[in-house]
Structure 1
Amino acid sequence: MKIGILKDHKKGERRVAISPKISKQLISKGFEVLVEKDAGLNASFKNSDYEENGVTVESRAVVFKDADILIKINPFDEEDLKLIDNHHILISQLYHKSNTKLIHDIAEKGATAFSLDAMPRISRAQEMDVLSSQSNLAGYKAVILGAYEMTKIFPLMMTAAGTITPSRVLIFGVGVAGLQAIATAKRLGAIVEATDIRLETKEQAESLGAKFITVDGDTGDASEDGYAKVASEEYKQKQKEAVNKSLFEADLVITTAMVPGRKSPVLITEDQVKQMKNGAVIVDLAAAQGGNCSLSKLNKTVIENGVKIIGTTIAPESVSTNASDLFAKNIYNFISHLTEEAQFKWDFEDEITFGTCIVKEGIIKQNGIENG
C-alpha cells in the first residue's frame, strides 16, 4: 500500500504528519511512501531529507491520485475532498463530534476515515495518542510564552541590590499539558500551585512540586475515559472560592481545561480578572473551544485592568520539528497497530480500531457504531 503525506495548508500550521525518519521505518514495514513537495519545510525537513530516506516527492495531485492512505494533521478541507475517492483511507484529526458535515462529505465519497482525536484513553493506546504528545509540548510552550510576556523573572534571586522574590504560577487543569507546565515552571524557579476537578491528579501535581488546591466536598468522581467530566455549577462555585486567593496573588496563570466535543468551561470570570494583580498574565490554552477565561479571544491578546490575557492553543506549531517528530511516531505506532504485512486487518473487536474508525467505505460510524 502507498502512504501519502500531505502538506497542511491551515493558516499558521508548521508541522508535518510524518518525518523523514519515520517514513523510512514505514518503508521497512513494506509500505511505499509519497510526500507532497515542501510538506516538511516549515518543520525543517527538506525534500531531499525525505528522498534520502526512500520517499518519493510528488505534487499534491499525484499524491492524492497514487496514495491509498492519506495522512495529514488537521481535518481534510473542501479542496482535499475534490481529490478524494472511494479507494482512499484518510487519517487525521477529524474532530468528528463537532465536524459532522465533513464526516458526511467523506462518506459521500465512499472513502474510509480514522480520527486521531478519537483515540481511546487506554494504556496500550498511549503510544498512538497525538493529543497527549502535542499537549506535552503545549504545556511547555505555555510557560515559555508566559515568561516572555511577564514583567518579572521566575526564580528567587539574591543580589547586592536586594532580593527578588520568585514568581507565583497557578495552573488550571492537571492533564498532560498541565503537568508539563508544572514541571517547566518549577524548573524555572517559580512557586507553583495547581487545581483540577479530577482529585486523582493531586498526587501527580504534588510529585512535580506543585501545591494542589483541593475543593471542599469534592467526591473525586470527576474522571471519565481519562478526561474531565463537565463540572456541576455547585462544584464550579466551590472551585472558584478555593482558588481565588491563589488567583489574585498569581503572576502567571495557565489554563488547560477542555472537555472533548464541548465548549471549554469558564474558570476565570471578568469579575475575577478585575481582582487580579496588575501586570499578571493569563495564558489560555483552551481558547480554541471558547476559553477558560471569559475574556479570552483566540490568537489575540486582551488587556483588562492591567491583566494580559493571551488566548491561544499554543499550538505545538511553534516547535514544529519536535512536534512533527512526536506526531509521526504516534502515526507509525497507529498504522502498525491497524495493519499486518502492510495490509489493514479491520479488527473491529479491537477497542482502538473500533473507536477511531469514523467512516468505513462510505458507512458512517460514531465510535464504531454504524448509523448509516
Structure 2
Amino acid sequence: MAARIAVLNETAAAEPRVSATPETVKKLVALGATLAVEAGAGAGAGIADEDYRAAGATVGDRAATVAGADILLAVRPPDRDSIQGATSGAVLIGALEPAGDRGRIDGYAAAGIETMAMEWIPRITRAQSMDMLSSQANLAGYKAVLDAAAHYGRAFPMMMTAAGTIPAARVFVMGVGVAGLQAIATARRLGAQVSATDVRAATREQILSLGAKPIFVEAVKGIEGEGTGGYASEMSDAYKQAQAELVSAHIARQDIVITTALIPGRPAPRLVSDAQIATMRAGSVLVDLAVEAGGNVEGAVAGEVVERHGVKIVGYRNVPGRLAADASALYARNILNLLTAFWDKDAGRPAFPDDDEIVAGMRLTRGGQVVNARLLQQ
C-alpha cells in the first residue's frame, strides 16, 4: 500500500517555513505517495492551499492531515500529542533539535514514533543534496550581509563622485563554513572590502578564491583540518589567546563584522568581547548568526538588535526563515532527495535500512527506543 505523507503546519513561534512545496508534492505523488497538507502550512512561504491541491494533495485540519499518515514532514519538532493519529511506527522527518531537548525525543520513542533528524544527516558526498544545514546556512550567510547593510548607515561599494569619494565598507567574516563563504561572496558582490578568518587552515584557499583577505594566526597552530561533519573543533587555549589578539587589532578597523561559528552539541564559541566592540567605530554593525546557540558576540540578544558603545549588534532568530519562500523550497527539496534516495518502488514507500550510513546518522528513535549512537552517548 502506497505511503500516506502528511505535511504539518508549523506551530512554533516565528517559523514561516514549510517542509513541502507544490513542486515536491507533485514529485512525491508521481512516485505513488498520497499527500495530505495541513491547511495554512505554506502561508508563511507565500504558498496557498489551492496550490497544494493543484499539485495533487488534499488539504485539511491537523487531525485529518495526520490521520493514517505513514510519514510526517515538519520543519520544527511538533508536539507529540498533536500527531497521535498517525499509523503505528509512523516516521517523523524534520529538524528535530535532538541535542536541545532529549525529553521530547524520549517522548517520541514512548509514543512509538520513528524519528529522523534532518540536521543530523552525515556530511558525506552521497548526502549533499539532502543536507539541510548547508541549504539553510547558504541563505543565512546571504541574509546576514543584507541585514548588516540595512543597519549600516553608509554605502557598501566605493563611490567616486564629483563631490568626493566614498570609501568601500570593510567587512570581516568570522567563521568560514557554508554561511561564512556565502557572506563573503555576497559582501564582495555589494562592493565591500572583505576579510575573513577561521580556525581551520584549509579555509585559507577558499577565502582567497572569493577575493577576500585571509586573517590567520601564524605563530600558533589552530586546526589543520575539520572537525566532525565539516565543523570546526574546539581550539586550544594558546590558539584562543593568539586569535583574540589578532582579531582585536583587526576588528577595530572594520565597519561590519559577521560571525558564524558553531560547534555541534556545544554553546557557540565567544569570538568578540565587549572590549573589542568598544574599539569599533560608532555606527559599525555586528551580525551574530550563532545567537540562538549562545552567541559569538558578547552582549548579543536573541531576537533583538541592541546597541553597545555605539555599535549595533544584530541577533535575529531563524535567519533562513527571513527568506521563507527560498528556504522552504530548498528544505523541501532536501527532504524530497532523502525520500527519493530510499524509495522502494514496489512497496510505494521509502525503506530506511539500519546499515546505511545516512540512516544511522539521522535516525533517533525506532521501536519505542532511542537508537541514535550520539544520543545514547550523552
TM more than 0.5? yes
CA distance in 1: counterparts of 2:350 and 2:8, whole angstroms: 20
1:185 paired residue number? 187
**Once the 2 structures are TM-superposed, how far is the Cα of residue 345 of structure 1 from its aligned partner?**
2.3
CA distance in 1: counterparts of 2:78 and 2:224, whole angstroms: 37
The residue identity in structure 2 corresponding to 1:223 is E
1:335 paired residue number? 339
1:77 paired residue number? 79
**Once the 2 structures are TM-superposed, how far is the Cα of residue 218 of structure 1 from its aligned partner?**
2.1
Q: 1:277 aligns with which of 277, 281, 287?
A: 281
Matched, 1:354 2:333: no
TM-superposition CA deviations, 1:112-161 (whole Å, max 9, x none): 00001111111111100111001100000000000010011100000111
SS of the residue corresponding to residue 151 of structure 1 reads: coil
TM-superposition CA deviations, 1:307-353 (whole Å, max 9, x none): 11111245211111111110011000011123312333231221001
The residue identity in structure 1 corresponding to 2:28 is L
Q: Which runs of 5+ in 1 are unaligned?
A: none
**CA 1:133–1:213 in structure 2 vs 1: closer, same or farther (change >3 Å)?**
same
1:237 paired residue number? 241
CA distance in 2: counterparts of 1:6 and 1:116, whole angstroms: 15
Q: Over the residues paired in the alignment, what is the CA RMSD in angstroms?
A: 1.6
CA distance in 2: counterparts of 1:237 and 1:222, whole angstroms: 20
**Once the 2 structures are TM-superposed, how far is the Cα of residue 370 of structure 1 from its aligned partner?**
7.1
**Once the 2 structures are TM-superposed, how far is the Cα of residue 205 of structure 1 from its aligned partner?**
1.3
CA distance in 2: counterparts of 1:243 and 1:219, whole angstroms: 14
Q: 1:262 aligns with which of 266, 269, 275?
A: 266
CA distance in 2: counterparts of 1:276 and 1:44, whole angstroms: 39
The residue identity in structure 2 corresponding to 1:236 is K
1:363 paired residue number? 369
Contact 1:270-1:294 within 8 A present in 2 as well: yes
Q: 1:316 aligns with which of 320, 323, 338?
A: 320
Q: 1:96 aligns with which of 92, 95, 98?
A: 98
TM-superposition CA deviations, 1:268-298 (whole Å, max 9, x none): 0111111111111000000001000011110
Greater shift, 239-248 or 257-266, is seen at 239-248
**Once the 2 structures are TM-superposed, how far is the Cα of residue 362 of structure 1 from its aligned partner?**
1.3
The residue identity in structure 2 corresponding to 1:284 is D
The residue identity in structure 1 corresponding to 2:160 is M
Contact 2:68-2:86 within 8 A present in 1 as well: no
Q: Aligned runs of 1:43-54 on 2, under 5 Å?
A: 43-54=45-56
CA distance in 1: counterparts of 2:79 and 2:281, whole angstroms: 43
SS of the residue corresponding to residue 249 of structure 1 reads: coil
Contact 1:286-1:312 within 8 A present in 2 as well: no
The residue identity in structure 1 corresponding to 2:232 is A
Q: Aligned runs of 1:207-226 on 2, under 5 Å?
A: 207-216=209-218, 217-224=220-227, 225-226=229-230
TM-score, length basis structure 2: 0.95
**Once the 2 structures are TM-superposed, how far is the Cα of residue 77 of structure 1 from its aligned partner?**
2.5
Contact 2:285-2:313 within 8 A present in 1 as well: yes
Return structure 1 stretches of 4+ with deviation > 6 angstroms.
368-371
CA distance in 1: counterparts of 2:317 and 2:225, whole angstroms: 24
**CA 1:247–1:166 in structure 2 vs 1: closer, same or farther (change >3 Å)?**
same
The residue identity in structure 2 corresponding to 1:351 is E
1:56 paired residue number? 58
CA distance in 2: counterparts of 1:176 and 1:191, whole angstroms: 20
CA distance in 1: counterparts of 2:90 and 2:222, whole angstroms: 47
CA distance in 2: counterparts of 1:83 and 1:147, whole angstroms: 47
CA distance in 2: counterparts of 1:123 and 1:247, whole angstroms: 36
**Once the 2 structures are TM-superposed, how far is the Cα of residue 42 of structure 1 from its aligned partner?**
1.4
SS of the residue corresponding to residue 22 of structure 1 reads: helix
TM-score, length basis structure 1: 0.96
Contact 1:357-1:368 within 8 A present in 2 as well: no
Greater shift, 330-339 or 31-40, is seen at 330-339
Contact 1:138-1:313 within 8 A present in 2 as well: no
Matched, 1:153 2:155: yes
Contact 2:6-2:72 within 8 A present in 1 as well: yes
CA distance in 2: counterparts of 1:18 and 1:126, whole angstroms: 18
Greater shift, 68-77 or 176-185, is seen at 68-77
CA distance in 2: counterparts of 1:168 and 1:370, whole angstroms: 45
Contact 1:338-1:344 within 8 A present in 2 as well: yes
SS of the residue corresponding to residue 252 of structure 2 reads: helix
CA distance in 2: counterparts of 1:237 and 1:312, whole angstroms: 28
Contact 1:85-1:109 within 8 A present in 2 as well: no
CA distance in 2: counterparts of 1:21 and 1:107, whole angstroms: 32
**Once the 2 structures are TM-superposed, how far is the Cα of residue 241 of structure 1 from its aligned partner?**
1.3
Identity fraction in percent: 40
CA distance in 2: counterparts of 1:305 and 1:62, whole angstroms: 54
Tell me how many residue pairs correspond in the alignment.
371
CA distance in 2: counterparts of 1:301 and 1:311, whole angstroms: 6
CA distance in 1: counterparts of 2:263 and 2:173, whole angstroms: 17
**Once the 2 structures are TM-superposed, how far is the Cα of residue 361 of structure 1 from its aligned partner?**
2.2
The residue identity in structure 2 corresponding to 1:34 is A
**Once the 2 structures are TM-superposed, how far is the Cα of residue 162 of structure 1 from its aligned partner?**
0.4
CA distance in 1: counterparts of 2:73 and 2:175, whole angstroms: 30
**Once the 2 structures are TM-superposed, how far is the Cα of residue 66 of structure 1 from its aligned partner?**
2.5
CA distance in 1: counterparts of 2:21 and 2:180, whole angstroms: 27
**CA 1:30–1:84 in structure 2 vs 1: closer, same or farther (change >3 Å)?**
closer
